[in-house]
Structure 1
Amino acid sequence: MSVRELVVLGTSSQVPTRTRSHQAAVLRWDDEVVLFDPGEGTQRQLTLAGVPAASISRICLTHLHGDHCLGLPGVLQRIALDGRQKPVDLYFPEAGQEFVDRLRTSSASGPGPDVREHPVAADGVVDTWPGLVLSARALDHRVPAYGWRLVEPDGRRVLRDRLDATGLAGPEVGRLLREGEVVVDGRTVRVEEVTEPRRGQVFAFVMDTRRCAAAVELCRDADLAVTESTYLRTEAHLAQDYAHLTAADAAGIAAEAGVRRLVLTHYSSRHPDEQVFADEAREVVPGLDVLAVRDLDRVEVPRRR
């Protein structure tokens, strides 16, 4: 059975606390294990969360501020130490190439895993994975930053009663889904007769940014969207000065974009109780499905509509 869930590794912003490690999260999506923004301490958080480093297939960096990337060297070394044989794909803003180079050569450790770099310099589709499309949009931060969006292409759902009525079984079902029609006992069965449209799922990851159109488009119709929530409305001046979101901003983005479930993270250390962020989001958008997550929480991607 496929698993689609977010594993929260760290929820702090610039300053870690006794209960919050630096920002980091893993998305488990069927056969893909995607690590987003490995801040300092990510290697240990992976261990505590029970996520094997060798299982990580992709790493996405929104930007190269330290609280979002200083864990990268240790994670790559751990991936190699744990014996991953397949390449790891690394996605990051092209403008941060010099910092990625430094991170990858920051110690005297032996060679790391086989890393395929994908520097991103423009909005649009970045890569196509098995059953997923990765795209990026530039955010409004103090350094070049991109948000990430994963889209599962639309497909079709088999209607079992209709399929059974045709007498199709085994490999013939797969051929019907691939080719669109098959002949059964002299009768042509078309895929539309035994299936219905199935909307693909969407995941969005938006970190350090002011509220902007790109953040909304990244989150458009997302089943699960993860956004930073560094400040509250009473600190809107700080959010503007340092190019971050308030919880109210994040809720507004989610409402405008039609997000099904919103995950808040990346909290300022001045707020020890993360629930104040969820409370503000619900006050702005009543009825919003919003979670102010803690380190090591797990959040399921909502089931299909």
Structure 2
Amino acid sequence: MRELIVLGTASQVPTRHRNHNGYLLRWDDEVILFDPGEGTQRQMLLAGQAVTPLKHICITHFHGDHSLGLPGILQRVSLDKVPHPVAVHYPAGGQEFYDRLRHATSYWDNAEIVPSPVGAGFAVETCAGRLTALPLRHSIEAYGYRLTEPDSRRILPALLVQHGIQGPAVGELQRAGRLGEVTLEQVSTVRPGQSFAFVMDTGLCDNVYALADGVDMLVIESTFLAEDAAMAAQVGHLTAGQAAAVARESGVRTLVLTHFSQRYQDPSRFLEEARTEFAGPVVIAEDLLRVPVPPRLLSQE
């Protein structure tokens, strides 16, 4: 199962219908939590999600709507005695804020929480693929994240027949990469790995495009509409149209817009603006919405 579970979609101020940020990515056996804002623990409960599968928590920056839920999540990890290490990735320059959130209150610390500051060249290997980060343009140090699954190979039955390979020999070929004179490359084609990008509070910059380049799913902030573009630029945010233009220029397959300012009452306006720039699938995020990652491409063609 590969899906995004949206836990919260508000920006600085939550509303009656939108909790502070929170995004859970389920990628087969890997579960990654992005930007747990205030109330994330309860939102996970409402979404039917436990903290036990969590292995990575990614913080883009230390504004409250993206990080105030971290203490509750870490305390729940400890309460549930999660048996494996849980890594927390966050901007290295925000170490002071991480330390405060990590021990915001007194509790029995029964879990292995691994601090993992993010800086230049950050990359970690997860069960789902390589997790990387790039700096963004905001009022404080902020990073966007990208998950990239390695390519694999897809066996082509017709080519197996041509080489007279069948039954258990197929598995042996896949494991060893060669069977006699026949190589795996001769009977298969490249199966591209999937990718996911998470871009929050930022103005337009080169790294926004680098993170979004060719991803299967882009989750990106669209705090403002075009009518407030000047304000967006001033405070380091994007409009729906700008986010959609990034998706178009970067070859994104599915676009998920979120982080909406409370000043707008009608979410359909974000979709209308995005549609002027991006013709592909656009999702206007709502709390507790589940968004499947698009089906895997069968080949590079």
Which residue matches 1:271?
264
Q: In 2, are the aligned partners of 1:125 and 1:133 still within 8 Å (CA)? A: no
Show CA shifts across 1:22-70 (max 9, x none): 0110000011100000000000000011111111111000001110000
Query: How far has the Cα of 1:112 moved from its partner?
Result: 4.8
1:249 aligns with 2:246: no
Show CA shifts across 1:150-190 (max 9, x none): 101111112234446634434x444422432013xxxx322
1:289 aligns with 2:281: yes
Which residue matches 1:262?
255
Q: Which residue of 147, 156, 161 maps to 1:159?
A: 156
For 2:188 and 2:122, the matched residues in 1 are separated by 29
Which residue matches 1:105?
103
Show CA shifts across 1:84-109 (max 9, x none): 10010111110011100000110011
Q: In 2, are the aligned partners of 1:28 and 1:34 still within 8 Å (CA)? A: yes
Q: In 2, are the aligned partners of 1:9 and 1:45 still within 8 Å (CA)? A: yes
Using the aligned pairs only, state the percent identity: 49
Which residue matches 1:191?
184
1:206 aligns with 2:232: no
CA 1:98–1:125: 2 relative to 1, 3 Å:
closer
Alignment of 1:216-227 (within 5 A): 216-227=209-220
Show CA shifts across 1:185-221 (max 9, x none): xxx3221232111111110000000011100110000
List gaps (5 residues or longer) in structure 2: none
* Bigger shift: residues 10-19 or 126-135: 126-135
Query: How far has the Cα of 1:284 moved from its partner?
Result: 2.6
Alignment of 1:64-75 (within 5 A): 64-75=62-73
Alignment of 1:1-305 (within 5 A): 3-122=1-120, 124-163=121-160, 166-170=164-168, 172-183=169-180, 188-285=181-278, 287-305=279-297
CA 1:131–1:78: 2 relative to 1, 3 Å:
closer
SS across alignment from 2:271 = helix
CA RMSD of superposed structures (Å)? 1.4
User: Which AA in structure 1 matches 2:190?
Assistant: P
SS across alignment from 2:52 = helix
Q: How high is the TM-score relative to the length of structure 1?
A: 0.93
For 1:249 and 1:74, the matched residues in 2 are separated by 34
List gaps (5 residues or longer) in structure 1: none
Q: In 1, are the aligned partners of 2:79 and 2:108 still within 8 Å (CA)? A: no
Show CA shifts across 1:243-291 (max 9, x none): 0010011011111111011000000011122221111000233x23211
For 1:17 and 1:144, the matched residues in 2 are separated by 26
User: Which AA in structure 2 matches 1:291?
Assistant: V
